[in-house]
Structure 1
Amino acid sequence: MIDETRARALLGAARARGWHVATAESCTGGLVAAALTDIPGSSDVFDRGYLTYSNAAKSEMIGVPGDLIAEHGAVSEPVARAMAEGARRASGADLAIAITGVAGPGASAAKPEGLVWFATATARGTVAERRDFGPLGRGNVRARAVETALELGLQAVVGAP
């Protein structure tokens, strides 16, 4: 279960600024959106979530270029950035949070289990961050990714002018 402290903090900070939030999720399968919408009253802040688990969904729903995915792979900094930017553009949200990673199993040497890329997009720009959680098991990697995404989203809101 996800600790709702981070979700409440992100919603409160976004609410204080009058911001709307969107998500674009791959390996977390909508768990960030669920963590936010589990909080009563979140509808004034949380706008929408894009569940872009497949490469086709990333391209069709939020405009991630197929050649970018082909060149770098879905689990990469460029794709995480494109996901966040695409979700922000498609939704009109003030903040978009994107997550793409390898929850496991099925990892490779280049992209091991527990590798997750995050990106946040605001009017100030896009910030991407890599986390290597290690082979914690699918559920644990996903839970850590949700917590990290909420924290990075909060940092994006609090750090904005």
Structure 2
Amino acid sequence: MPFSHVPKNPGDLIKSQDWNEALDAVVALFAKFNGGAGHQHSGSGEDAPPIGTSGIADNAVSTAKIQNAAVTAAKLAAGVIPQIGIAVTGGLSHGQNIPVPAGFAVNECVFFATLNSVPQDEFVKITWDNTGKISIWKQVPFLNQPGVAGSSLASGIAFGKKGGW
């Protein structure tokens, strides 16, 4: 309720209505200093006008006071949070590829692989290329020749980063 001052002259009686309106105005003023309930800078009624960008000092708001999910990617400085993706898979056999994370190109990824099942008494070697293609080789005893390790399986992981590594 807006308060409008009506000047009184010395010697005028103070009516209860005048006194109550003055106290109501003081209570309303103090309520606006309550950060949780008043003084929202909405610009409506007797509330303060919105604060413009130039009215907020640098570092005036701490990170802890910024509401979760209140900041969009458009407000972040370039490179603050690089776009990164990870794809993990198992059960890969010779000649298969480690999958690329969704939304990434092969040239934006680095690949790693490890054997997770090898038949008994086989000497097996695993390699992968820069496209994520797995090669699993067994060393044929006494011939010193490589052969495809048909029943060996591998797990692979691809790390993607927008723009590449």
Fold-level match, TM-score > 0.5?
Answer: no
Larger proportion of strand: 2
Q: Give the structure-1-normalised TM-score.
A: 0.25
Highest CA radius of gyration, 1 or 2? 2
Q: Which has the higher contact order (CA 8 A, sep 6+)?
A: 1
